[in-house]
Structure 1
Amino acid sequence: MPMATMRTARKLLLGREIAHMIDSAGVSQAEAAAIIETSQSRIAGLISGAGTITVGDLERLARRLGFDDEGYQEELRELRRDNHKRGFWSTGHNRAYSEDLRLLVDLEKHVDQIRLAEVEVVPGLLQIEPYARAIHEDAPPVDGGVTVDDRVAARLARQEILDKSNPPSVHFVLSESCLRRMWGDEGVMQAQIEHLITLSNRKKVMIQVLPFRTQPGRRSPVGNRFTLVKAPSPGAAGPLELVYTEAEGEIRYLDDRKALAAYESAWARLTNAALRFDESREFLAKVLDEWKQ
């Protein structure tokens, strides 16, 4: 994906604000496009986070749509300032992020809430270095000279959001298989589960376990991996909400209401079926003891 058209968190948030202004003014995308002498398809691209707009056009569009408050316009200008300069993703460990994954990595730096359901593998945000290294040791080579060290560094760098002064709220539902599937050796698994127990005691880290012996209910998507993210908007459009799904060779970002509602329902069923937080911590301790035997 060319850098000029790559979607980022700021572009998506700005797109939401543009859509909000157009809807509030009661005009069509084509009418909004005429204000800045462009095409309807370009406006649609801006709304989807795939386009760019000059400061002058952004200010003119906002004023003509009735959003002439200087404070609001400064918020728009700030969203337009994208911090990913050319070459950002092609240096150091950033090279290890695939083009499809870069939007999620960028979003994680802006969100105030992450909810994630996982099977088989401890989520990247919770992995310790030896566990992450064990996962990547036999990964196929990647163009550009990306090494295992790059991949591990990239994985661990994403966890910096948990140590911010005001970290996001993160909530995980882990299938028991995440705790049983061995990566590395017994020592790695012990250290990884100890890390999960430590993290689960943080105020904004919530971990629930869905044991094999628990009846999840017929409609609970126990085999699905997905992530729900919510990024607050500094403007008037309300938060940005997305669903991230990943399968072999396919990454998708969903933001339509139908998909969001479906995954919200799936999340509700999973959290209801999983152990409570205190029960999950006790279960983690039990599995840890078994790894030590």
Structure 2
Amino acid sequence: MPSRKAPTSRQRRLGTELRRIRERTGMSLTAAAELLGTDRTTISNVESGRFGVSAERVRTWVGTYRCPDPAYIEALAGMAAERTHGWWEDYRSNMAAAALDLAELEHHAVAIRSVQIMYMPGLLQTEDYARAVFAETVPAPSPARQRRQVSFRLRRRDVLDRDDPPMCTFLVHEAALRMTYGGSSVARGQIDYLLKASDRDNVIVRAIPFAAGGFPHASSSAYYVHGSVRQLDTVQTDTVMGSGFDDAEANLENWRVALDRTEEKALDPESSRDFIRKIADQV
């Protein structure tokens, strides 16, 4: 099993899932090593993502741990078999790890659900809007860094154009729709782009008016990425201190409930387009 100097988010997640399956059985590292004919250090390194592992070995380990879910097992084996060099790897030397992790999650996503409070969804941002958003970063980015950030954000949009794009539902609060990053012209162009994107078969945009009142986690945006099986879902949240990722089973269930409740407060897609057009006329 080759050592990996810098495990990706996907590799770390595979190790985390293997550890969770083992721990659910109450099996210690020592007991697992004895049953699998290996040593504690090897298992520990795989579970931390530092060592790679073959798809066949994943099936063997998970079978030993008596996981009862065939779809989950095959999803994990598929993760182990991946040897993809994603486009985001070209940015590894000059972009934050969290940004790379998010792009990798999007690449493997089956579906995406998000709620945006103060910004337009990243996958639906125009170049001018993205540049204006990054210009507000503290400390201010250098021109070169800002160009990289904008370039990376625009590359992320490609996931919507692939042959099997994820089904995306974007819940956008009225506050985000009315924020004029870059001035009125940029804001209007961004709203027009949002409306055009909502015509895609794989994109649903639903507006949350101020009049809808409160909803769960209203103080922060959330980005829920659905994996090939439920156990591989991930939620990403943004704060002024940076991005955070959460894949704890209980927390994911809470986020699913929160997003369901938030979606109940949103306008339906057609009413949302009418609502967004009215805001565009006021920008």
TM-score when scaled to structure 2?
Answer: 0.81
Shift of residue 284, structure 1, vs aligned partner? 0.8
Q: 1:16: which partner in 2?
A: 17
- Identity of matched residues, %: 23
Shift of residue 65, structure 1, vs aligned partner? 2.6
Q: 1:266: which partner in 2?
A: 258
AA at the equivalent of 2:105: L
1:98-138: per-residue Cα shift (whole Å, max 9, x none)? 12332221111001111111111112111011111112235
Give 1:186-265 correspondences, 5 Å limit: 186-216=184-214, 220-232=216-228, 239-265=231-257
Distance 1:285 1:260 in 2: 34
Match of 1:151 among 149, 159, 174: 149
Please say which of residues 23-32 and 205-214 is displaced more in the overlay.
Answer: 23-32
Decide whether the 8 Å contact of 2:18 with 2:62 is kept in 1. Answer: no
Distance 2:74 2:238 in 1: 36
Please say which of residues 161-170 and 50-59 is displaced more in the overlay.
Answer: 50-59
Name the structure where helix makes up a greater proportion of residues: 2
Shift of residue 94, structure 1, vs aligned partner? 4.9
Q: 1:162: which partner in 2?
A: 160
Q: 2:7: which partner in 1?
A: 6
Mapped pair 1:58 → 2:54: no
1:119-177: per-residue Cα shift (whole Å, max 9, x none)? 1111211101111111223533669x953221111000011100011100111111111
AA at the equivalent of 1:30: T
Shift of residue 32, structure 1, vs aligned partner? 2.2
AA at the equivalent of 1:124: G
AA at the equivalent of 2:222: F
AA at the equivalent of 2:154: L
Distance 1:271 1:60 in 2: 38
| Partner-residue secondary structure (3-state), 1:115 | strand
| Partner-residue secondary structure (3-state), 1:100 | helix
Structure 2: gaps spanning 5 or more residues: none
Q: 1:32: which partner in 2?
A: 32
Structure 1: gaps spanning 5 or more residues: none
AA at the equivalent of 2:163: S
Quickly say closer, same or farther: Cα 1:131–1:29, change in 2 above 3 A. Answer: same
Q: 1:275: which partner in 2?
A: 267
Q: 2:115: which partner in 1?
A: 117
Distance 1:118 1:274 in 2: 12
1:187-228: per-residue Cα shift (whole Å, max 9, x none)? 1111111111111121111111111122235xx322221111
Distance 2:183 2:172 in 1: 20
Please say which of residues 145-154 and 200-209 is displaced more in the overlay.
Answer: 145-154
Quickly say closer, same or farther: Cα 1:57–1:221, change in 2 above 3 A. Answer: closer
Quickly say closer, same or farther: Cα 1:44–1:281, change in 2 above 3 A. Answer: farther
Decide whether the 8 Å contact of 2:110 with 2:228 is kept in 1. Answer: yes
In the comparison of the two structures, how many residue pairs are matched?
273
Shift of residue 257, structure 1, vs aligned partner? 2.2
Distance 1:243 1:198 in 2: 26
Q: 1:106: which partner in 2?
A: 104
Decide whether the 8 Å contact of 1:173 with 1:210 is kept in 2. Answer: yes
Please say which of residues 154-163 and 76-85 is displaced more in the overlay.
Answer: 76-85
Distance 2:109 2:165 in 1: 9
1:251-271: per-residue Cα shift (whole Å, max 9, x none)? 322112221122112111110
Decide whether the 8 Å contact of 1:62 with 1:73 is kept in 2. Answer: no
Quickly say closer, same or farther: Cα 1:214–1:96, change in 2 above 3 A. Answer: farther
Please say which of residues 251-260 and 275-284 is displaced more in the overlay.
Answer: 251-260
Q: 1:179: which partner in 2?
A: 177
